[in-house]
């Protein structure tokens, strides 16, 4: 692998900002990514715009392997001026360098190193950082029928591959009450804020009722976390409306379904109020059973390449690998860059690791396409 060429490609991607919420920036980034793909793969991608978000897909023959990445980042346009691309003492820095533009570079160079990319689909989405709302169906469609999905999200600590991820659900619980003057006739109101307090306490005990407060596996227990609160209008008015947003992380599909049942079964405590529950499951869990065979294969390939022994990690964060696993496609995640600081100012990539990680991905694709993966 030509590391200098990989770094030139990485600098080009980082230099094009791609904040998820800025569809214009994402479209510009997609053009840069597409041009890079043309140079490395000799093929122009299918450009797919859904709800204003630009996604790219390269399809070679009848796909049996899906390679998944995203080109959007969490960094608002203008961040690059504050923290520009830099490469000092083997560490690359810049917005999105770790999550996950280095992973995209590794994907392109891995595919370019194959004798033929026939049988591979490379999907690069533009809204992963905001929940893949427009790309979910595209991801699932691309994964169905494939023997394996390899996700180029950044690695875990020390380069660990991500063999399991919690599933995610997001809810909004809105309380509808009745306004009244807080001093003259508070009894004629129905206080939505007080009712919301009851609901937050009820939400807080759902997780322990789902898995008994114990961690069912390395992913840790189910978590149900009230996050954003709002309510009321003026200091002297009984609130007629109050709401809370809720973040849910689950280790199993069964836990995700049970949480959904319990959230939707919430009942009001304050007379005159009513509840409205919105949202639901977003990403299903990526369970270890989905990744086990591919992780074993990766360990064998890494050994043959003379790499350090690989480690697997179970993480609470979700990715598009949750969707590929959710439709039954064996999935291995965290194959991207080694480094740290995702979503943080100290985001960085250890560039010396990029060639070996690229060879590892190429070896995995080759093994699956040749039937050596044992599937």
- Asked if the domains at 3-165+285-369 and 167-283 fall in one CATH topology, the answer is no
pLDDT at 215 over 70: no
Task: Quickly list H helices, 206-341.
Answer: 206-211, 253-264, 288-304, 321-326
pLDDT at 217 over 60: no
- What percent of the chain stands above pLDDT 90? 91
Q: Which of 72, 153, 287, 320 is catalytic?
A: 72
What tens digit of pLDDT does each residue of 275-316 get?
999 999 999 999 899 999 999 999 999 999 999 999 999 998
Q: Report the pLDDT value the prediction gives residue 295, as an integer from 0 to 100.
A: 97
What tens digit of pLDDT does each residue of 184-203 get?
999 999 999 999 999 999 99
Contact 169, 259 (CB under 8 A): yes
Q: Which of 9, 99, 128, 153 is catalytic?
A: 128
Contact 215, 280 (CB under 8 A): no
Decide if 128 is catalytic: yes
Q: Report the pLDDT value the prediction gives residue 372, as an integer from 0 to 100.
A: 74
pLDDT confidence bin for 374, thresholds 50/70/90 = low
∠ CA(169), CA(171), CA(174), 5° rounding?
175
Contact 63, 118 (CB under 8 A): no
Q: Are strands 53-60 and 120-125 parallel, antiparallel or unpaired?
A: antiparallel
Q: Are strands 167-176 and 274-283 parallel, antiparallel or unpaired?
A: antiparallel
Scanning the structure block, which residue is given the tokens 């697997």? 312
Contact 359, 202 (CB under 8 A): no
pLDDT at 206 over 70: yes
In terms of Cβ atoms closer than 10 Å to its own Cβ (0-12, 13-18, 19+), residue 6 is buried
**How far from 196 is each of 108, 161, 193, 228, 289, CA to CA, in Å?**
50, 41, 5, 12, 39
CATH topology of domain 3-165+285-369: Aminopeptidase (3.40.630)
pLDDT confidence bin for 317, thresholds 50/70/90 = confident
Q: Report the pLDDT value the prediction gives residue 371, as an integer from 0 to 100.
A: 87
Question: What tokens appear for 103 in the block?
Answer: 């992973």
CATH topology of domain 167-283: Alpha-Beta Plaits (3.30.70)
Q: Report the pLDDT value the prediction gives residue 129, as an integer from 0 to 100.
A: 95
Q: What is the average pLDDT across 148-154?
A: 98
pLDDT at 19 over 90: yes
Each domain of the chain, given as residue ranges in start order, spans: 3-165+285-369, 167-283
Q: Report the pLDDT value the prediction gives residue 109, as an integer from 0 to 100.
A: 98
Q: Which of 8-12, 147-151, 283-287 has the lowest mean pLDDT?
A: 283-287
Decide if 72 is catalytic: yes
């Amino acid at each position: 692998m030509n590391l200098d060429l990989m770094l030139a490609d990485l600098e080009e991607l980082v230099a094009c900002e791609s904040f998820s919420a800025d569809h214009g920036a994402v479209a510009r980034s997609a053009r840069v990514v597409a041009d890079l793909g043309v140079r490395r793969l000799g093929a122009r991608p299918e450009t797919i715009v859904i709800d204003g978000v630009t996604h790219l897909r390269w399809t070679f023959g009848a796909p049996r392997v899906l390679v998944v990445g995203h080109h959007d980042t969490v960094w608002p346009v203008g961040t690059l001026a504050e923290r520009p691309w830099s490469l000092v003492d083997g560490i690359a820095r810049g917005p999105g360098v770790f999550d996950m533009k280095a992973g995209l570079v590794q994907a392109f160079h891995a595919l370019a190193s194959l004798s033929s990319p026939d049988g591979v689909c490379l999907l690069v989405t533009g809204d992963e950082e905001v929940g893949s709302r427009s790309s979910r169906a595209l991801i699932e469609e691309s994964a169905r029928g494939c023997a394996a999905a390899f996700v180029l999200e950044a690695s875990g600590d020390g380069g660990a591959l991500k063999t399991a991820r919690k599933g995610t659900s997001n809810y909004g619980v809105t309380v509808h009450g009745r306004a009244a003057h807080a001093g003259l006739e508070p009894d004629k109101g129905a206080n939505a804020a007080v009712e919301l307090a009851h609901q937050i306490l009820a939400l807080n005990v759902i997780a322990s009722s789902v898995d008994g407060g114990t961690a069912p596996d390395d992913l840790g227990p189910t978590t149900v976390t009230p996050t954003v609160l709002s309510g009321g209008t003026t200091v002297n008015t009984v609130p007629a409306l109050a709401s809370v947003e809720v973040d849910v992380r689950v280790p199993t599909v069964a836990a995700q379904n049970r949480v959904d049942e319990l959230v939707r079964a919430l009942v009001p405590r304050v007379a005159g109020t009513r509840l409205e529950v919105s949202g639901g499951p977003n990403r299903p869990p990526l369970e270890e059973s989905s990744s086990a065979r591919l992780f074993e294969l990766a360990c064998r390939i890494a050994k043959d390449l003379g790499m350090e022994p690989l480690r697997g990690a179970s993480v609470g964060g979700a990715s598009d690998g949750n969707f590929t696993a959710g439709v039954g496609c064996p999935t291995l995640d965290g194959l991207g860059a080694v480094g740290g600081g995702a979503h943080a100012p100290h985001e960085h990539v250890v560039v010396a690791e990029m060639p070996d990680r690229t060879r590892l991905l190429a070896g995995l694709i080759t093994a699956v396409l040749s039937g050596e993966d044992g599937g």
